[in-house]
Chains A and B, each alone.
Chain A
Amino acid sequence: MSSTPETSIIPKIKMNAILNVLAKGYHIDKRPLLSYRQIDVIKNISPNADSSVLVKLGYTQVLAGVKIEVGQPFPDNPEEGVLIVNAEYIPAASPTFEPGPPDENAIELARVIDRSIRESKAVALDKLVLVPGRKVWVVWLDIYILDHDGNLIDASMIASIIALAKARIPYYEIDQVTGNVKIDRSKSAGLLPLNKLVSSVTIYKIGDVLVVDPTAEEEAIASASLTIAISEDGNIVGMQKRGLGTFTEKEIEQALEISLSRGKEIIETIKKFLS
């Protein structure tokens, strides 16, 4: 059951201070409204994972990791591998996060990222079959929000795509008679096959202004947000509106323009980090 979230009490004079700054066309940290903060990527934080990536977007930190295992395909997709995306907001990341199973926000984040990757066929699931109908590769993508300073979905998408692109399939041998698959994690059978990269651009509505990449302080006074996922070939591969506020048709058109140009830039940035 989903209930109206408890609103943290933000006094009008604090809100006005932020709104006044935004009205000038800049974030509080002097960045233009439609610019992203600096993106830093650190790979292989968890060597035990089949790949792991830490993304820092300003002070926001997201750690994404991949584990690839042998498993059964879904009954309605017997000729495809399986992708499972899970996300958690760890309590360390913000004074408002409580320990426990993922809440509706974490689950929504995971599903938004999952859909964008799945619908765009970014991961070549059809190339992940070991024994048709019986054994396939199961790709576990686990996203952990380590530090919350705004714009978690976009940061998580960057971490997820790089983690998937860098993931190594364990070395394996299939017994032709029994169909059993033996794996040796100390060796690799190659990279996880990706068809294309995907980025997400979340446009936030703060007052009357549309911005991207707000800090947590700014995000707290946003009335609504619209996440648009853009694939490497310029298509829209996912959309999600969040929050209690609303968008006009014109604002959605503006958001689309912003996401197409920013999305392309983010994909170029991701390519740089992959080389």
Chain B
Amino acid sequence: MKGSKPQLIAEGKRIDGRGPADLRQIRMEVGVLKNADGSAIVEIGNTKVLAAVYGPREVVPRHEEQVDRAIIRCRYRMLSFSTMGERKSPAPSRREIELSKVIREALEPAIISSQFPRTAIDIFVEVLNADGGTRTAGITAASLALADAGIPMIDLVAAVAVGKVDGVIVLDLNEIEDMYGEADMPVAAMPSMGKITMIQLNGVLTPEEFRYALRLALDGINKIYSLQKETLKKKFVEVEE
């Protein structure tokens, strides 16, 4: 389905008019579902992701429980009509299975699971519309959903992808840039703790490019982290005892 490669950067501007270090427009909302213990929607550009959290709750089947901590279960999934082009079959793809693991491992270091032995904390990430950066938006949304559920964390986790398109290192790739670019590197971190919880690379970078890209990613993550905190504050600012 790859047609001819479009020009991704012209005169310092990307296909959607952004500069190399610009994030797309972001909208976040917390507490969007009634049933889930915690929920959030994150929109970054056209990418729209819903995250829902249940827990801590009883583990079913019982034999999966752990005696000294909560188990974290995570599922990343794209809705059938969320992708450009053809309908995606509802059966879990290998990509979705891998991303479910990667997202869980990005969030687990933040969750204080020892507080709730023999329980499960379930995280569901549903991609409503995909335009690049779905796993990083998913992590960002899941963090908000975990906070909304009152699950204790040592920090929120924020994530963003950086990459290289037409030789230029850029922040927050959309779908076209991801498809035709030379590298795509999603990163997640706990900003107040200064700890990176996810990093992947798909493509080729020189060590020099990599260092610069990581710096750029962490800057982007800090901006997203501030937005997460603002979103949570707005939601709870009217609460009084």
Assuming the A-B contacts A63-B79, A91-B75, are A48 and B126 also in contact, with contact meaning beta carbons closer than 8 angstroms in the complex? no
B10 / chain A contacts, CB cutoff of 8 Å: none
A46 / chain B contacts, CB cutoff of 8 Å: 48, 79, 81-82, 128-129
Whether, in the assembled complex, A149 has its beta carbon less than 8 Å from a beta carbon of chain B, the answer is: yes
Assuming the A-B contacts A92-B39, A99-B75, are A67 and B86 also in contact, with contact meaning beta carbons closer than 8 angstroms in the complex? yes
A47 / chain B contacts, CB cutoff of 8 Å: 46, 129
Within the complex, the shortest CB–CB distance from B26 to chain A, in Å, comes to 16
CB-based contact A88/B90 at 8 Å? yes
Whether, in the assembled complex, B124 has its beta carbon less than 8 Å from a beta carbon of chain A, the answer is: yes
Whether, in the assembled complex, A218 has its beta carbon less than 8 Å from a beta carbon of chain B, the answer is: no
Q: Number of B residues contacting the other chain (C-beta, 8 Å)? A: 30
CB-based contact B35/A48 at 8 Å? no
Q: Which residue of B lies closest to A147 (CB)?
A: B33
B52 / chain A contacts, CB cutoff of 8 Å: 90-92
CB-based contact A67/B81 at 8 Å? yes
CB proximity to A under 8 Å, residues B11-52: 33-36, 39, 46, 48, 50, 52
CB-based contact B46/A92 at 8 Å? no
B-side residues, CB < 8 A to A, are 33-36, 39, 46, 48, 50, 52, 54, 57, 75, 79-87, 90-91, 122, 124, 126, 128-131
In the complex, 30 of the A-B residue pairs with CB atoms within 8 angstroms, ordered by the A residue number, are A45-B48, A45-B128, A46-B82, A48-B83, A48-B84, A48-B130, A48-B131, A49-B81, A65-B80, A67-B80, A69-B86, A88-B90, A91-B54, A92-B35, A92-B36, A92-B50, A93-B35, A99-B75, A99-B124, A101-B91, A140-B81, A142-B81, A144-B79, A144-B126, A146-B33, A147-B35, A149-B34, A185-B84, A185-B85, A216-B35
